[in-house]
Amino acid sequence: MPLPSNPHPGVYIEEISSGVRTISGVSTSVCAFIGLAPKGPLDQAVRILNWKEYETKFGGLDAKSEMGYAIYHFFSNGGQDAYAIKIGDSTADPLPAFSTLINNAKISEWLDHVDLFNILCVPGLSSSAENAQVALLQAYVEKRRAFLVVDCAESDTRDLTPTGITGTGAEYSALYFPWISAPDPLQKNQPRDFPPSGFVAGIYAKTDANRGVFKAPAGTEAGLTGVLGVKVLLSDQENGILNEKAVCCIRNFPVYGTVVWGARTLAAADSGRSDWKYIPVRRLALYIEESLYRGTQWVVFEPNDEPLWAQIRLNIGAFMHDLFRKGAFQGSTPRDAYFVKCDKETTTQNDVNNGIVNIIVGFAPLKPAEFVIIQIQQIAGQVQA
């Protein structure tokens, strides 16, 4: 450091920047809901931070609006941030069908203006009856680095097979069965069956907040609030069959009540061979991708050489190490858990000439313990002399 004018003998201190540009993790559980409502702006994504806001802007619960109930269940089960997109009027007679309403133009007209959402729900859109629309939504969430929660049809039974929605984009979605029985405030709290997506999206949000996006939104901690039970009671054997078909079951257990009891994406239906078989693995990768995409924008137009590559490694490494400390990865050391590579091997001179910098990030994800095997052995008692 240069000495000040008229220096005197002593110690001089200068603060130097560390060079680390902090990469902030994005939100993980902003949920977009698409459906009908009795009032409110049409084909516009409106941010909703609590149930009172939805009542004010969209008219609250309506017997013909599955979206209103789903948002109510979302906030009741831990959700905190949502977008409501009204694509039709629930007071119309007859009601508009989701299949004139769900198309590429409509989706882009809602949602392209939303800066960030992580979960998409279309309550009442049946995986059995509207496969084409579900596939369209799968393709859209893939493009937006989001995740689709798919409802089974109300009439679906234990032999449910998610045909037609397990192709391209399946890894960005999960199917839940069966419908949920809950009190209906519009009918003096009499029981009514509802699609599961609103409840499940709330569980995603609660799990993310309490444990992290790398924890499966399922298990005894994933108990549903404000429910009476499930429309279809499943045995362990039936649950096992559906699990192999990549159907996430909702079960009713003594002591624990009604819980989400499955954490597989629809990609798991392909004989379970997909790298994206589990919901928390897919959602963690999406979180990392979106966070790094937003957190490395400063790199654009910087000189493409080793000083830049070193700074990229430092910044992304700090972000990944923070996830490692939180328990997001396998491995007892950072070397076992993740790597960040950006150097002359990933970025060749030809890449430099073309204005390209290549960054490779790898991680060892945690996978849910679906099957816990306990071995029990009897030992002969010892007779003390």
Tokens representing 260 are 């989400």
Beta strands 173-177; 147-151: pairing state: parallel
Tokens representing 280 are 């928390």
| C-alpha closest to that of 223 among 254, 245, 178, 265 | 254
**Cα–Cα dist 198/34, whole Å:** 11
Q: Residues 76, 108: contact at Cβ < 8 Å?
A: no
Sequence-separated contacts (24+) of 350-353 with Cβ below 8 Å: 352/304, 352/305
CA 212 from centre of chain:
11
pLDDT (0 to 100) of residue 222: 97
Tokens representing 89 are 């009027």
Please state which CATH number belongs to domain 31-282.
3.40.50.11780
| C-alpha closest to that of 232 among 196, 198, 202 | 196
Give Dmax over CA atoms of the chain in angstroms. 92
Residues of the chain below pLDDT 70 = 1, 3, 18-19, 127-129, 164, 271-272, 381-385
pLDDT (0 to 100) of residue 327: 96
pLDDT (0 to 100) of residue 94: 84
Question: Which pLDDT tens digit goes with each residue over 339-370?
Answer: 999 999 999 999 999 999 999 999 999 999 87
pLDDT (0 to 100) of residue 385: 52
| C-alpha closest to that of 260 among 227, 214, 212, 211 | 227
**Cα–Cα dist 122/142, whole Å:** 16
Listed by start position, the domains of the chain span: 31-282, 302-385
pLDDT (0 to 100) of residue 72: 98
